[in-house]
Amino acid sequence: MLYRILHICKFFLLMAIFGMMILACTSGSIFNNSEANAPEPVERTNSNQEPENLAPKRPPIVEVSGLIDFHQSPYRNLLTTVPDKGSPTFFAAVPRMANRENEYRMGHMLLARQAAMYREAGVTAKFLTQSNNRDMGYREQVEVDIDKSLVRSMVDKIKITDHYQDVQGSYFSGVLKGIQITGFKVQTEVTDTVPQWFLNPPSYEGYIVAVGTSGRHMFIAESFLQSDRQALAAIAKQLDIEVKQKRDDLEKEYQGSAYQQLNLQITDTTVRGFYVIDRWVSSDGNTHYSLAVCPVK
């Protein structure tokens, strides 16, 4: 009797061990199948952050020892900003900073500013001419108003295509995406250090053409900014046919056969489509030139 009881217990013990082995094998296969069918992990980013793979790709930095000579290729090409396959192209120069990464950010913002100026800019220009029977003087004051929100919106639309560095700063080319304009042919030849388009400005159907000049400033970035501004003022003056304020004989003084005359003109208008297609700097660095166009209203 005892022997039969021990035999039965042994039988049930073996059955229990066998059942546990089957269960372990079955659960293992289920676990493996669930892993095989599981979806791929999805990378999640903060809604306020751009995924790294979608961030705009920066061009490689071309470092130049010493100073860049804009009369030599390929640096000359930076100053010629005719449309790239129909897309407006812009040039920006940034003075040297302690943190060179900040030069990139500033350059990107300056390119966006030019793109915003291309869209729309308010211009107030004052032209003062002083003349007498011996010589003539000329003064000009230009104020440019650009919508800051428009500049910020252009940051994401500008693609930086070139980035050069020298000991004085950084220089950038950028293309405005999503806009197509007519191409312009420009003569880049130089005569006695002066560009041909300064001596003989080109003409383009449906466009006003203007040339701006500036003397040397501490930074080349400021020099080109001023020559661009002078070109913008000249275009604004041509667009604003009905000058808002004009005084031909502001002041006259007669002393025998000598006389002095002051002429003041104030232009206040909105310019749309202002676009610099070429720039140049004289060989001595004392004069900077900008050639600009703007559609006729």
173, pLDDT greater than 60: yes
Q: pLDDT at position 221, please?
A: 87
What percent of the chain is modeled with pLDDT above 70? 72
Q: Which H/E stretch holds residue 142?
A: strand 136-145
39, pLDDT greater than 70: no
Q: pLDDT at position 290, please?
A: 97
Q: pLDDT at position 131, please?
A: 72
pLDDT digits (tens, 9 = 90+) for 137-152: 667 788 999 999 999 9
Confirm if 296 and 207 have CB atoms less than 8 A apart.
yes
**CA gap 290, 276 in Å, rounded:** 7
pLDDT digits (tens, 9 = 90+) for 88-110: 999 999 999 999 999 999 999 99
Which band of pLDDT confidence, cut at 50, 70 and 90, is reported for residue 44? very low
Any residues with CB less than 8 A from the CB of 264 and at least 6 apart, and which? 126, 127, 128, 129, 245, 246, 247, 250
Which band of pLDDT confidence, cut at 50, 70 and 90, is reported for residue 214? very high
Q: What is the CA radius of gyration of the chain?
A: 35
Choose between 21 and 103: higher pLDDT. 103
pTM to 2 decimals?
A: 0.74
134, pLDDT greater than 90: no
